[in-house]
Structure 1
Amino acid sequence: MKGSRRWIGLLFTAWVLTAGCGVKAPPVPPSRLPPAAVTDLTGAVAGDVLELTWGIPAVGDDAGEADGFAVYRAKTPVEEAECRDCPLIFHRIAQVSITPSLRQNGRMTFSDPLENGYRYHYKLRSYDVFGAAGDDSNTFTVDY
């Protein structure tokens, strides 16, 4: 009796180790499209404050729904000559969520105080509810 139990146990262990559900492969996350990039970033200076405005990108066959935007800024002194080939160092300065009323309106705004004597460059990056980021927006530049 002991021998048959051992034999059955060995057969069961061998079956568990060799049984499978098919071809094994690394897990694949569900496909999710990143949100579309903003293409209409603009701004206007009122006093010493810049108000950026842009449209909320539409959801489409090649883009997911945006849940918010990260606002990036690069700041250089105006007296420095503008170098077209030099990379700008952008820093994230804010994160703006899309509320239902803003989504219905279709437009977003963000205000940033300005300091005299600087050239400001702004860009946005949309993100979805899971934090996946889309591409960079167009860059808006202003001297103050």
Structure 2
Amino acid sequence: MNRIFERIVISVLIVFWGAGILFVTPGCGKKGPPVAPIRDADIPAAPTNLKYTLKDRNLTLSWICGPLQDQEQGAKVEAFEIFMATKPLDGCQGCPFIFKSLGVVPMPGKSFVYTLDKDLHYYFRVQALGHGNIKSKVSDTLYIEFP
């Protein structure tokens, strides 16, 4: 009886010791540089007044950037990322759609040209990009139906 109890205790200790190693094991030991906290003044304003013009199948998307500030005084917009989602015209109502990045427009650009395909619902959004990969909120969604 003592042998069985002894084996159970040893087995339990081995399991706890192994689990302890998993939870106590440190990382690789290398630390990255310190990261400064992000203040509201560091976040660029979201683009507004998203509009489009259409010539044949070529869509020109334009927007207004929020107030540009000095580099020393807070958020400075460096570029804009364009996002698009599409759905077929005969697609289901309420079905989800996923926005994908179309590309980045560097400053001072505030427009983007894209060639549309027929029979799709298009949804566009724009996001301002600041220094250090800080991103604004996305703009309101612009909806376009291209028959």
Q: Deviations over 1:41-82 (max 9, x none)?
A: 11121100111011121046xx72211111000011011243
1:45 to 40, 47, 54: 54
Distance verdict in 2 for CA 1:82–1:50, change over 3 Å: farther
Root-mean-square deviation (CA, aligned residues, Å) is: 1.9
Which amino acid in 2 is paired with 1:38?
A: P
After the TM superposition, which residues 125-140 of structure 1 pair with which residues of structure 2 at under 5 Å, given as runs? Answer: 125-140=127-142
Give me the whole-angstrom Cα distance separating, in 1, the residues matched to 2:105 and 2:35: 31
Q: Contact between 1:127 and 1:133, CA under 8 Å: does it hold in 2? A: yes
After the TM superposition, which residues 1-144 of structure 1 pair with which residues of structure 2 at under 5 Å, given as runs? Answer: 29=36, 31-32=38-39, 33-59=42-68, 64-83=75-94, 86-99=95-108, 102=109, 108-144=110-146
Give me the whole-angstrom Cα distance separating, in 2, the residues matched to 1:130 and 1:110: 23
TM-score, normalised with respect to structure 1 = 0.67
Percent sequence identity over aligned pairs: 23
Q: Contact between 1:58 and 1:65, CA under 8 Å: does it hold in 2? A: no
**Unpaired segments ≥5 residues, structure 1:** 1-26, 103-107
Which amino acid in 2 is paired with 1:46?
A: K
Give me the whole-angstrom Cα distance separating, in 2, the residues matched to 1:141 and 1:46: 17
* Matched position secondary structure for 2:98: coil
Q: Contact between 1:34 and 1:134, CA under 8 Å: does it hold in 2? A: yes
Higher relative contact order (CA 8 A, sep 6+): 1
* Matched position secondary structure for 2:75: coil
Which amino acid in 2 is paired with 1:49?
A: N
**Unpaired segments ≥5 residues, structure 2:** 1-33
